[in-house]
Amino acid sequence: MTNTANTLDKPELSITQHGPLLWLTITREERRNAMSHHVLAGMAQAISAAQTDRNVRAIVITGAGSKAFCAGADLQSTKAFTTDYSEPVGHLAALLRVAKASHVPLIARVNGACMAGGMGLLSLCDMAVASSHAVFGLPEVKVGVFPAQVLSVLQHLIPRRKLTEMCLTGEPITSAQALEYGLVNYVDDDVDAKLEWLLNRMLDKSPAAIRRGLYTMKKIENMAFEESMSFTESQIALFTLTEDAKEGQKAFQEKRKPVWTGQ
């Protein structure tokens, strides 16, 4: 995880590949890693490009420093929430759509305050590890707006009444509460050690199973039971046709570790 294979930075966003991991780091520490349109567009492009790069096994999203993961929209900007009112698709919405469709696992490394649109970034990730000092909040009502787009990806993650309280009061919750509500997978004083532990548990598994598995999970999320059953009946047959499935079963029978091709 320490060897840098490729670096392709964009304004205010560091894009670095370490082996099988693609790191997307918001580098606006002086602005508490608030999202700019450059950041949103750069993330969307990087996540989209990773879908066809078999060398990328996971994407880590984080912020620079230790104070903030992402403070949401940059309220110092005159166009904090939109660039063009005539454009029906905004940058945050575009990023959320790309992330929602990703077949490459997205992992949030929450290293500090996660607020407003930052909660959207967290929610679009498949798993999340947070530092013990991290705080989480939806303070939009304090500036006269509401976490509208964020709700699209957040509403199924935490209990409804807690979500309503966060939206209507704008008051933050602690990392311990975020863990209790299921907003993050793990909380640790050493967020990097816990992140590495989680990634190592995933990276030794079948790339093909994970890729097709995420596709399946996301497809059935809003399906009715019978529709979901019909879809997954066909999907399990396709899983078994992959080279990884054949290798996994053979390795199990031979009592050895599988050698994945990712095909």
Instruction: Determine contact, residues 69/122, Cβ cutoff 8 Å.
Output: yes
Phi and psi of 127, rounded to 5°? Answer: -145, 160
What are the extents of the domains in the chain?
4-203, 207-253
User: Residue 63: what pLDDT?
Assistant: 97
CA dihedral 156, 159, 160, 163 (to 10 degrees): -90
Confidence at residue 82, expressed as pLDDT on a 0 to 100 scale: 57
Give the pLDDT score at 195. Answer: 98
What pLDDT digit, counting tens, does each position of 96-118 carry? 899 999 999 999 999 999 999 99
Average pLDDT over residues 74-85: 60
Tell me the per-residue pLDDT of 154-189, one tens digit each, with 9 for 90 and over: 998 999 999 999 999 999 999 999 999 999 999 999
Predicted local distance difference test score (pLDDT) of residue 93: 85
CB crowding 20-41: b at 16 or more within 10 Å, else e: ebbbbbbbbeebbbbbbbebbb
Q: Is the pLDDT of residue 57 over 60?
A: yes
> Which contiguous run of DSSP H or E holds residue 186?
strand 186-188
Closest by CA to 128, choosing from 49, 207, 181, 168, is: 181
Query: For the chain, what is the radius of gyration of the CA atoms?
Result: 19
The CATH architecture that domain 4-203 belongs to is Alpha-Beta Complex (3.90)
Q: Note whether 214 and 100 are within 8 A (CB).
A: no
N-terminal to C-terminal alpha carbon distance within the chain:
23
User: Given pLDDT bands bounded at 50, 70 and 90, which one contains residue 135?
Assistant: very high
pLDDT confidence tier of residue 1, bands split at 50, 70 and 90: very low
Encode pLDDT of 115-131 as tens digits: 999 999 999 999 999 99
- Identity of the highest mean pLDDT range in 7-11, 55-59, 69-73, 143-147: 55-59
DSSP 48: H
pLDDT band, residue 7 (cuts 50/70/90): low
Structure-token pair, residue 122:
């967290």
178-233 confidence digits (pLDDT tens) = 999 999 999 999 999 999 999 999 999 999 999 999 999 999 998 999 999 999 99
- Output the pLDDT for position 149: 86
What's this model's pTM, rounded to 2 decimal places?
0.90
